Amino acid sequence: MKITGIQDSASFIAWEIGGNGTTCIAGSTILALGSVGTAYTENLFLPRLVYEDVDVSGVQFNAIPSLSNGSYYIYAQSNQATLANSIVINESGTPNETVTVSHLLANADDALNVTVTTKMEDYFIIAPGDMLSACTYNSADGIMTQTCIMGKDDLSMSATYLVNQNYFSKGQLTLTALFSVDNLSQIVSMNPLAINIDLGKIPTFVAIGTGGVILSSQDGVNWESSSISSDYFNGVTFADNKYVVVGNGGAVYTSSNASYWVSESSTTVEELFEVTYGNNLFVSVGCHGTIITSPTGVNWSSQTGINSCDIYGVTYGNGLYVATGQGGYVQSSTDAITWTEQQNVQTSEELTAVTYGGGKYITVGTNGTILYSTDGIDWTFADSGVAAQIGAVIYANNQYVAVTRDGGALTSPDGVSWDSQATNNVNPLYGIAYSNGQFVAVGTQGTILTSPDALTWTTQSAITSESLYGITSVN
């Protein structure tokens, strides 16, 4: 056995000899090593070696030799430089989430500097040069390369990056960092050589309702609940890498991850019922003909309405915004600024929701009302087969699905012929969304129903008693 570079005469633990038939060569002593690199020929029962610096816990050598496992661990102090690498997430779940990459050098001498290189995915907005770090960086082909030059006078160095949350999706965003040192450096041990760390993700479904409640879920079955204000919320959408929620008193909130919410100025005190996104523009509608728009969801502008009817629903599709509301009111616009009232609707029912998909606009309302249109101008009645108010409608998974205020569900392949589906639920339903093969409907008393096909529905355990008035999904 040859021991080299791991132990010196000052080591606080010496080797322990064990096993039958052990003999030492005359003139040598295994218990007190004379000099590093001394060679021994001996039949020893070897313990498992853990190469760890005695002064800096957790700093280990790059390679652990393949040896027989014994019953002892031996710690050897190194007089050669060791390097510890770490990554820490700061303010997780907020818009200020950052990542700090740190290096700690031990046992450095004056002989050579140590150049530490970190390569990782560039998921960042602000790089070290903007964050007052001594490390340098460059970014190419989606890879951030950070370089820190360390030495006896620079034993600790770090750099902090602001996470670009536009990279967040339904799947976990994982950062992989690989560490290396230059060939000329004095480093003989470095730990770890690589780090994987989760930066975050966004929930697939977000539901909103009374009491400022916000529910979030990845699968529609398991939910987390929070309340962000005393406002009650009516509408929610996800677009442009953010959630936007609207509600009473002109309330507008935005979030990039459904955990940290920011209250925005909406320029109105009217109650807002719904919000949609299309053609790079958020559009929200509400009481007394209120229409507000925003390219970002943050800064909003009021648009001049064409009457004072309450507007309950709004959608965008095929180059056209369509809004529906009180007394069978339908209006449309190509830019959400100049609106035209459509006369060929022929109903006085309240039109509570509208959607676009499959080449048709579909609006639904009181007394089982359903109308469809291919252009947003001429509308035709469809027979829903129900008398209850229809609260919401979507087009997803190649079909139209609507939910009713008596707790039921309706499906249609074309928006013209509709079938009722049993839900075994009596609580009024107000919202529906679809993602990842799952329909999710929400309603009063925290009601949540799920279905893979909109035909067979399952009631999920309620985690709130608040009424849920809207839901959106990330597709």
> Got the DSSP string for 184-238?
TS-EEEEE-SEEEEEEE---SEEEEEGGGEEEEESSSSSEEEEE--S--EEEEEE
Average pLDDT over residues 162-169: 89
Q: Is the pLDDT of residue 64 over 50?
A: no
Lowest mean pLDDT among 77-81, 150-154, 269-273: 77-81
Query: Whole-angstrom Cα distance, residue 72 to residue 42?
Result: 18
Q: Which two tokens stand for residue 120?
A: 């990782």
CA–CA distance, 469 with 275 (Å, rounded to integer):
13
CA 137 to CA 294: how far, in whole Å? 36
Distance in angstroms (rounded) separating the CA atoms of residues 332 and 314:
9
Task: State yes or no: cis peptide before 413, omega within 30 of 0.
Answer: no
pLDDT digits (tens, 9 = 90+) for 26-56: 334 444 344 444 444 444 444 444 545 445 5
* Cβ–Cβ under 8 Å, residues 470 and 207: yes
Mean per-residue pLDDT, 326-346: 94
Report d(CA 312, CA 308) in Å as an integer: 12
Predicted confidence (pLDDT) per residue in 186-214, tens digit:
666 788 889 999 998 899 999 999 999 99
CA 128, CA 193: separation in Å to the nearest integer? Answer: 21
Compute the average pLDDT of residues 453-469. 97
Q: In what order do the strands lie in the sheet with 124-126?
A: 124-126, 156-163, 98-106, 81-90, 187-191
Q: Mean pLDDT score of the chain, rounded to an integer? A: 84
Contact 460, 450 (CB under 8 A): yes
pLDDT confidence tier of residue 267, bands split at 50, 70 and 90: very high
Measuring CA to CA, how many Å separate 370 from each of 58, 327, 363, 393, 425?
67, 14, 6, 10, 22
Distance CA 383, CA 379 (A): 13
* Average pLDDT score over residue span 439-460: 98
Q: What is the pLDDT of residue 110?
A: 62
Instruction: Report the distance separating Cα 363 and Cα 269, nearest Å.
Output: 26
Residue 428 per-residue DSSP state:
-
Residues 6+ apart with CB under 8 A from 29: none
In the block, tokens 């409907």 appear at 441
Mean pLDDT, range 442-465, rounded to an integer = 97
> For the residues 49-73, what does the mean pLDDT come to?
46
Residue 46 bridge partners (DSSP) = none
The pair of structure tokens assigned to 341 is 């009232």
For the cut 50, the answer to whether the pLDDT of residue 9 exceeds it is no
- What average pLDDT does range 86-103 have in this prediction? 91
CA distances from 34 to 24, 39, 79, 81, 446 (A): 14, 10, 16, 22, 75
Report d(CA 15, CA 286) in Å as an integer. Answer: 80
CB 370 within 8 A of CB 381: yes
Are residues 284 and 318 in contact, defined by beta-carbon separation less than 8 angstroms?
no
pLDDT at 67: 39
- What pLDDT band is residue 170 in, cutting at 50, 70 and 90? confident
End-to-end CA distance of the chain: 61
